[in-house]
Amino acid sequence: MTQQRLALVFLAGATAALAASDWSNQGIVYLDRSPHVVLHPVPVHAVEIGKGFWYGRRAANVERSIPTMLELLEAHGIVENFQNVAAHKNAPHNGPLYTDSDLYKWMEAAAWSLQSGDNPELRRKLDSLTQVIASAQEPNGYLNTYWSGDMAPKRFTEMYRSHELYCLGHLIQAGIAYYRSTGSTSLMNIGERFASYLAADFGPDKRPLLTGHPELEMALVELYRTTGEAKYLHLAGYLLSGVETARLHLTPSQTTYLFSGLPFTSRTSLVGHAVRAMYASSGATDYYAETGDQAYGKTLETLWQDLTRRKMYITGGVGSRSEGEAFGEPYELPNDQAYGESCAAIGNMMWNFRMLQVTGEERFADVLERALYNGVNSGMSLDGTLYCYRNPLSSRGDKIRNPWYETTCCPPNLERTLAELPGMFYSTGKDGIYAHLYHNSRLSWHLEDGTGIAIEQKTNYPWDGGVELTVEPARQESFTLHLRIPAWASEVSLSVNGQAVNAPAAGSYAAISRTWKAGDRVSLRLGMKPAIMTANPLIESDYGKVAVQRGPLIFCLEQPDQSAPVGDLVFTGTREPFQEAMHDDLLGGIVELSHTGGVWDPPASAAPLYAPLPAAQAWARRPVELKFIPYYAWANRGPQAMEVWVPEAAPRK
Amino acid sequence: MTQQRLALVFLAGATAALAASDWSNQGIVYLDRSPHVVLHPVPVHAVEIGKGFWYGRRAANVERSIPTMLELLEAHGIVENFQNVAAHKNAPHNGPLYTDSDLYKWMEAAAWSLQSGDNPELRRKLDSLTQVIASAQEPNGYLNTYWSGDMAPKRFTEMYRSHELYCLGHLIQAGIAYYRSTGSTSLMNIGERFASYLAADFGPDKRPLLTGHPELEMALVELYRTTGEAKYLHLAGYLLSGVETARLHLTPSQTTYLFSGLPFTSRTSLVGHAVRAMYASSGATDYYAETGDQAYGKTLETLWQDLTRRKMYITGGVGSRSEGEAFGEPYELPNDQAYGESCAAIGNMMWNFRMLQVTGEERFADVLERALYNGVNSGMSLDGTLYCYRNPLSSRGDKIRNPWYETTCCPPNLERTLAELPGMFYSTGKDGIYAHLYHNSRLSWHLEDGTGIAIEQKTNYPWDGGVELTVEPARQESFTLHLRIPAWASEVSLSVNGQAVNAPAAGSYAAISRTWKAGDRVSLRLGMKPAIMTANPLIESDYGKVAVQRGPLIFCLEQPDQSAPVGDLVFTGTREPFQEAMHDDLLGGIVELSHTGGVWDPPASAAPLYAPLPAAQAWARRPVELKFIPYYAWANRGPQAMEVWVPEAAPRK
């Protein structure tokens, strides 16, 4: 069965071919030739991000995060590892066994950033790093600095932990990013040589292979898309097919934790290591985009329902448990102990970005945006030099941001996400163009029939829900402009050239079909009334509590803004309005929300652990004003107590 | 400093001496000569447990748990390990490296059980096991079946994980139990030989030692109490002094997890592995009882406050986290993910039992009773053949009871607790006698001046709060009868020979001082009105929820008794009364409580994960009757969904 399916895939893949000239037209995933997608994302360079929310974040990324992270990678000997292997020095390996990937991910971030502003010095740095990496590669294509020297005999013997294929995945992605930004295949070729070696020597009838930490699947599909070489798609399918459980003696706890080693299509829930599960799902979506295999389609939908109905934080963070950095049971979403690794939230974005392209369905953009603005965005400090690995939704003030982690996977992952961001704004479809995200920006691209198009967005999003779009087709043409109406929109209005258009439902794309001419103006208003959110009562950590959401942003109480300890605050008067105020000088410029609340008196820390009701009723609650800031901005004034889910009024007062 | 203090201790200890004749007078801890205690517990045999709550539990323990556990230990090769070592067979070791302790703990359980009913066959079994164990002991006293044969060279080199001293602790405790039940020192002597070897070869100026898993500390103090050999107390003090951090290269994460390796008196909170922390605290209390060292006294009080104000489940269970079987942060007390290892709840009992003897303060008996009736009692199935390792407070119906665990520490620990139980009922003090626990029973003992005394309790406790005590001193005598008035008592009344006595406050001992004569009757009524308990709002898992307590018992909702899924049930009408009904045929005979409640409609599982308030308000709640059973009795009708903390009414209906 599997063999037969893969053979068909192989034939389908053979129709694609690498067109050397189109490198600059390729998005962060390149779907123009993918038979089973609805949408085709535009390249990063097609969208220029103007002043506003992401402008500052992305400037910090380019000016501080990317440069300082390379310095740290070099200082920790991560580059030296390659030099040592190239020089056949049997020097001790620096960092954890998977740290090659950290450099590759940094290179991917740097490469994407070139599309938003060329930087000859950075190019030279990338070129010289490429040479260093190439010099560490073996003639057969193998490349991994940990599994070299004395460790070389153990290659492919401990794949459940070796991260050999994980590192290759990031190498390939970095190479593809550099290719799409510069046309140079030099870095991509290194990855391709290793991938060719795998494709030649491993497989169901050859040596067995396991990704161990899924990542290579999506990289291989992307390499197939970029080179047209079907063997890479074939290899991705083999990895996803999970047929080597027996040959590799994998235990159930391994295949659970690794989210690999079993057929992807046998999965019915998200379990194990959250980043692995998100990357595997992303890779499976890529594979589906090429094959249309309905077993994958069904599994992806089942897993997505599991994610969004039972296992996702309101911030878009995923992976509740510190133990195994893992998904928990359904509704196991603790706040203080939330793990919510930045990489897992990024994986969530990556997966939903792919699902969005495959289906064109708005619900995937909602999850992407939720993760982007909250659980991902919280991962990098406002100044771009400190990172969260964990992203809890409650804190008593532990230090959560650090410049470096021994396992430093999250920082360069955050950097590549910000660098890629323009590539997530728009997709083309056969009937026109889709706008997924809103921000001051200018799209310069073309419709699928080749007609040039520019779209200018003027907005103060996400602080304000008004977006003015000016559409500039190169010539007058009929097509559909699909504007995303987020599910959170409290009300929606839409007009074209001042003429009201029927307001579509929140949680869909408004499809405006007409003959467009240069200068047509579309005015979109998305209601951003602060919403008092409640959680499913099966989430034991959130019962009786509320969270505040305004537009795409989740808010929180942070200690410096409050007049009493965060742990003593309760939310009162759910029918009372919020006060909203833009503070340009606070936390890089935010909307702060104020609401009526109360404070326990005496403080909770003075109360007994358990008390019968009459005693509990003796508690007093004195009124106090609660001040909410956006969650992503917390812990930028040093370690602070913080709460997303605020207990609502004492049950009996 | 430490040396000087220990020298004083040594002198103090030298005044004690092993009186071969008094073995049968010694309680489960023997405090008659301990200078820094207020109370002296009576021996196990002094209290005969009559029909009622514990009678059935203890009968199951003797008739099924103890016999079947030995069969399982033998079937899993745990006894064979000793035979292999004795025969110098280099056979593979069976079970985990600490499994010697499982056999010892079983022997301790069996030994204590002899005091409540002699059993020649069981004695013969214990004698023959003693011979097997003795035959595996080395001439220098060393004994551990894992660290033998090929592993022998590694003895004392990996004490952070080796459990060599942990196993010895359990061996000594088993030996002491057998001595106190039979007068035979044969098993105790084996442990003593090993302890003597340690005392001779290890110490600050000799080889360094670490308990790694605290347990030996309390065993050594008990051995000192039993033999009068001060070197054992000295060694316990050395282990508690934690001065070998540097010589043993212990890391902070090790000393946190192990709750050893740092000075016990430097601890300010309960952290790390919960059983280790409870055993260390028990051992430190024993050490304090002998030395009166105020640094220990202060630390113990600090830790106890941390336990009872921030880190204990309402069931008396402790250790929230599966990861590291560990204490969590303050107020980190999840219900579904609660670890609450049976052994940790037992450790909690053991510690509070010791604190009670040291201080005579009722608050320690409250915690002891809370753990005993709930978090410990839940650990063994009603039929005595299935055990919980974890004791969660919420379940979706996972299988929680098993006959055997690869790490089978909990089952024999539960068995020894039930076997010891009569020894926790009474203590003597210099002015009279203290009753800590209530149950149909007969005490046959003597006051500290030697006057014989019997006390008969007639009660249906814990189902009913009435206790009729008949006091029978051997001769008319003035002394004080201290009756525990649990903190949970909703009202209290007391009479002597039909004459009302001023009702003392709940949470104290009623001190009835008079000249007692045989046949005096004391009538105690402890109000058992079901209490609706709330938790400190800093416990994120319990906010907006209530638990039900009646007398010492915590109740829960279990699926078979409900008309809707447990996860959909809410508690309503906190001013409504409970209906109480004794069901003799349900779960071994229980009081079932009924209360008004509601059920989500549609069910919570069909609801979205997060929703803004108007949508949440659309939820309906239809009335339903909630049926509560005692928590300890759950999961005796197969795996079942269960909830201790029940969400209270929708916040806004």
Of the candidates A309, A334, A534, the beta carbon closest to that of B616 is on A534
What is the distance of C-alpha B309 from the center of its chain?
19
Residues 6+ apart with CB under 8 A from A152: none
b/e per residue A67-79 (b: at least 16 CB within 10 A): bebbebbeebbbb
| Helix, strand, or coil (residue A632) | helix
Give A-chain residues touching B534 at CB under 8 angstroms: 610-613, 616, 651
Report how far residue B481's alpha carbon sits from residue A249's, in angstroms, rounded to the nearest whole number.
67
Supply the DSSP string of B609-623, one letter for each residue: SEEEHHHHHT-EEEE
What confidence tens digit (pLDDT) does each residue in B255-295 have?
999 999 999 999 999 999 999 999 999 999 999 999 999 99
Q: Which residues pair with residue B433 across a beta bridge? A: B428, B481
Q: Is the pLDDT of residue B23 over 50?
A: yes
b/e per residue B127-145 (b: at least 16 CB within 10 A): eebbebbbebbeeebbbbb
Q: Is B335 on the interface with A (CB under 8 A)?
A: yes
Number of Cβ atoms within 10 Å of the Cβ of A427? 24
What confidence tens digit (pLDDT) does each residue in A24-64 have?
999 999 999 999 999 999 999 999 999 999 999 999 999 99
| Helix, strand, or coil (residue B426) | strand
Is the preceding omega at residue A330 within 30 degrees of 0, hence cis? no
CA dihedral A173, A174, A175, A177 (to 10 degrees): 90
Cβ distance B604 to A328 less than 8 Å, yes or no, reads no
What is the distance of C-alpha A598 from the center of its chain?
36
The continuous run of DSSP H or E covering A167 comes out as helix A164-182
Residues 6+ apart with CB under 8 A from A379: A342, A345, A346, A387, A388, A391, A410, A414
Determine which of B610, B644, B646 to mutate to test the interface with A (most A C-beta atoms within 10 Å): B610
Radius of gyration of chain A (CA): 25
Q: List the single residue in A with minimal CA-CA distance to B606.
A: A309
Cβ distance B651 to A647 less than 8 Å, yes or no, reads no
Please check whether residue B141 lies inside any domain of the structure.
yes
What is the distance of C-alpha B21 from the center of its chain?
29
Torsion A509-A514-A517-A520 (CA) sign: negative
Cβ distance A647 to B544 less than 8 Å, yes or no, reads yes
Please check whether residue A570 lies inside any domain of the structure.
yes
Q: Is the pLDDT of residue B61 over 50?
A: yes
CB contacts under 8 A, B 514-533 vs A, are 531-533
Please check whether residue B653 lies inside any domain of the structure.
no
Taking 3-state DSSP, the helix, strand and coil percentages for chain A, each rounded to the nearest 5, stand at 40, 20, 35
Cβ distance B336 to A334 less than 8 Å, yes or no, reads no
Q: List the single residue in A with minimal CA-CA distance to B653.
A: A651
CATH code for the domain of A199: 1.50.10
Give A-chain residues touching B574 at CB under 8 angstroms: 613, 652
Secondary structure (H, E, C), B295-320? HHHHHHHHHHHHHHHHHECCCCCECC
Determine which of B609, B645, B646 to mutate to test the interface with A (most A C-beta atoms within 10 Å): B609
Report how far residue A498's alpha carbon sits from residue B341's, in angstroms, rounded to the nearest whole number.
67
Q: Which residues pair with residue A512 across a beta bridge? A: A481
Please check whether residue A652 lies inside any domain of the structure.
no
The continuous run of DSSP H or E covering A279 comes out as helix A274-291
Please check whether residue B449 lies inside any domain of the structure.
yes
Q: Do A521 and A633 fall into the same domain?
A: no
Contact between A429 and A40 (Cβ < 8 Å) = yes
Q: Is A642 on the interface with B (CB under 8 A)?
A: no
Q: Do B420 and B482 fall into the same domain?
A: no
Q: List the single residue in B with minimal CA-CA distance to A312.
A: B609
CATH code for the domain of B465: 2.60.40
Cβ distance B544 to A544 less than 8 Å, yes or no, reads yes
| Helix, strand, or coil (residue A635) | coil
Cβ distance B309 to A609 less than 8 Å, yes or no, reads yes
Across all residues in chain B, what is the average pLDDT? 94
Please check whether residue A364 lies inside any domain of the structure.
yes
Token pair belonging to B237: 């003090």
Which residue, among B155, B153, B154, has the nearest Cα to B143 in the 3D structure?
B155
Q: Do A395 and A348 fall into the same domain?
A: yes
Distance from CA of A257 to the nearest CA of B (A): 15
CB contacts under 8 A, A 336-365 vs B, are 336-337
Number of Cβ atoms within 10 Å of the Cβ of A118? 12
Contact between B287 and B236 (Cβ < 8 Å) = yes
Q: Do B401 and B439 fall into the same domain?
A: no
Q: Do B222 and B169 fall into the same domain?
A: yes
Torsion A172-A175-A180-A181 (CA) sign: positive
Cβ distance B540 to A323 less than 8 Å, yes or no, reads no
Average pLDDT of the segment spanning B397-413: 94
Torsion B18-B19-B24-B28 (CA) sign: negative
Report how far residue A48's alpha carbon sits from residue A63's, in angstroms, rounded to the nearest whole number.
17
Q: Which residues pair with residue B554 across a beta bridge? A: B549
Q: Do A309 and A260 fall into the same domain?
A: yes
Determine which of B269, B325, B390, B534 to mutate to test the interface with A (most A C-beta atoms within 10 Å): B534
Which residue, among B233, B200, B198, has the nearest Cα to B217 in the 3D structure?
B233
Q: Is B75 on the interface with A (CB under 8 A)?
A: no
When pLDDT is cut at 50, 70 and 90, the band that residue B618 belongs to is: low
Please check whether residue A314 lies inside any domain of the structure.
yes
Q: Do B230 and B328 fall into the same domain?
A: yes
Give B-chain residues touching A331 at CB under 8 angstroms: 336
Distance from CA of A561 to the nearest CA of B (A): 20
Give A-chain residues touching B321 at CB under 8 angstroms: 323
Distance from CA of A488 to the nearest CA of B (A): 9
Determine which of B306, B312, B536 to mutate to test the interface with A (most A C-beta atoms within 10 Å): B536
Q: Do A86 and A229 fall into the same domain?
A: yes
Radius of gyration of chain B (CA): 25
Q: Do A215 and A173 fall into the same domain?
A: yes
Of the candidates B308, B531, B611, the beta carbon closest to that of A533 is on B611
Residue A466 pLDDT: 98
CB contacts under 8 A, A 281-310 vs B, are 308-310
Q: Is B120 on the interface with A (CB under 8 A)?
A: no
Of the candidates B538, B570, B610, the beta carbon closest to that of A314 is on B610
Report how far residue B462's alpha carbon sits from residue B53's, in angstroms, rounded to the nearest whole number.
7
Contact between B530 and B580 (Cβ < 8 Å) = yes
Cβ distance A329 to B531 less than 8 Å, yes or no, reads no
Of the candidates B540, B604, B652, the beta carbon closest to that of A541 is on B540
Cβ distance B609 to A536 less than 8 Å, yes or no, reads yes
Q: Do A76 and A56 fall into the same domain?
A: yes
Q: Is A315 on the interface with B (CB under 8 A)?
A: no
Is the preceding omega at residue A412 within 30 degrees of 0, hence cis? no
**B438 vs A212, A463, B373, B421, B426, CA distance in Å?**
58, 65, 12, 12, 10
Q: Is B506 on the interface with A (CB under 8 A)?
A: no
Cβ distance B334 to A334 less than 8 Å, yes or no, reads yes
Of the candidates B336, B574, B609, the beta carbon closest to that of A613 is on B574
Contact between A559 and A506 (Cβ < 8 Å) = no
Q: Which residue among A424, A448, A472 closes a domain? A: A424
Number of domains comprising chain A: 3
Distance from CA of B142 to the nearest CA of A (A): 37
Report how far residue A46's alpha carbon sits from residue A452's, in angstroms, rounded to the nearest whole number.
11
What confidence tens digit (pLDDT) does each residue in B91-146 have?
999 999 999 999 999 999 999 999 999 999 999 999 999 999 999 999 999 999 99
Secondary structure (H, E, C), B514-562? EEECCCEEEEEEECCCCEEEEECCCCCCCCCEEEEEECCEEEEEEHHHC
Cβ distance A540 to B538 less than 8 Å, yes or no, reads no
Of the candidates B322, B538, B647, the beta carbon closest to that of A537 is on B647
Cβ distance A612 to B532 less than 8 Å, yes or no, reads yes
Give A-chain residues touching B537 at CB under 8 angstroms: 567, 570, 600, 604, 607, 647
Contact between B457 and B485 (Cβ < 8 Å) = no
Cβ distance B534 to A610 less than 8 Å, yes or no, reads yes
Give B-chain residues touching A326 at CB under 8 angstroms: none
Residue B621 pLDDT: 84
Cβ distance A600 to B652 less than 8 Å, yes or no, reads no
Domain that holds residue A608: 532-647
Which residue, among B269, B152, B251, B271, has the nearest Cα to B210 in the 3D structure?
B251
Contact between A238 and A9 (Cβ < 8 Å) = no
Secondary structure (H, E, C), B60-108? HHHHHHHHHHHHHHHHCCHHHHHHHHHCCCCCCCCCCCCCHHHHHHHHH
Q: Which residue among A380, A404, A424 closes a domain? A: A424
Token pair belonging to B342: 């049976």
| Helix, strand, or coil (residue A461) | coil
Q: Which residues pair with residue B41 across a beta bridge? A: B427
Please check whether residue B652 lies inside any domain of the structure.
no
Which residue, among A427, A179, A410, A176, has the nearest Cα to A289 in the 3D structure?
A427
Contact between B475 and B449 (Cβ < 8 Å) = no
Q: Which residue among B424, B451, B475 closes a domain? A: B424
Which amino acid, B172?
Answer: I
Q: List the single residue in A with minimal CA-CA distance to B394.
A: A540
The continuous run of DSSP H or E covering A283 comes out as helix A274-291
When pLDDT is cut at 50, 70 and 90, the band that residue B617 belongs to is: low
Give A-chain residues touching B316 at CB under 8 angstroms: none
Distance from CA of A650 to the nearest CA of B (A): 8
Number of Cβ atoms within 10 Å of the Cβ of B90? 11
Report how far residue A37's alpha carbon sits from residue A288's, in angstroms, rounded to the nearest whole number.
9
Residue B287 pLDDT: 98
Cβ distance A309 to B532 less than 8 Å, yes or no, reads no
Q: Which residues pair with residue B569 across a beta bridge? A: B599
Distance from CA of B279 to the nearest CA of A (A): 23
pTM score, two decimals? 0.93
Class of residue B349 by CB neighbours under 10 A (exposed 0-12, middle 13-18, buried 19+): buried
Torsion A28-A31-A36-A38 (CA) sign: positive
Q: Do B110 and B48 fall into the same domain?
A: yes
Q: Do A486 and A414 fall into the same domain?
A: no
Give A-chain residues touching B394 at CB under 8 angstroms: 540
Cα three-residue angle B628-B634-B636, rounded to 5 degrees = 130
- The ranges of chain A with pLDDT < 70 are 1-21, 615-618, 650-653
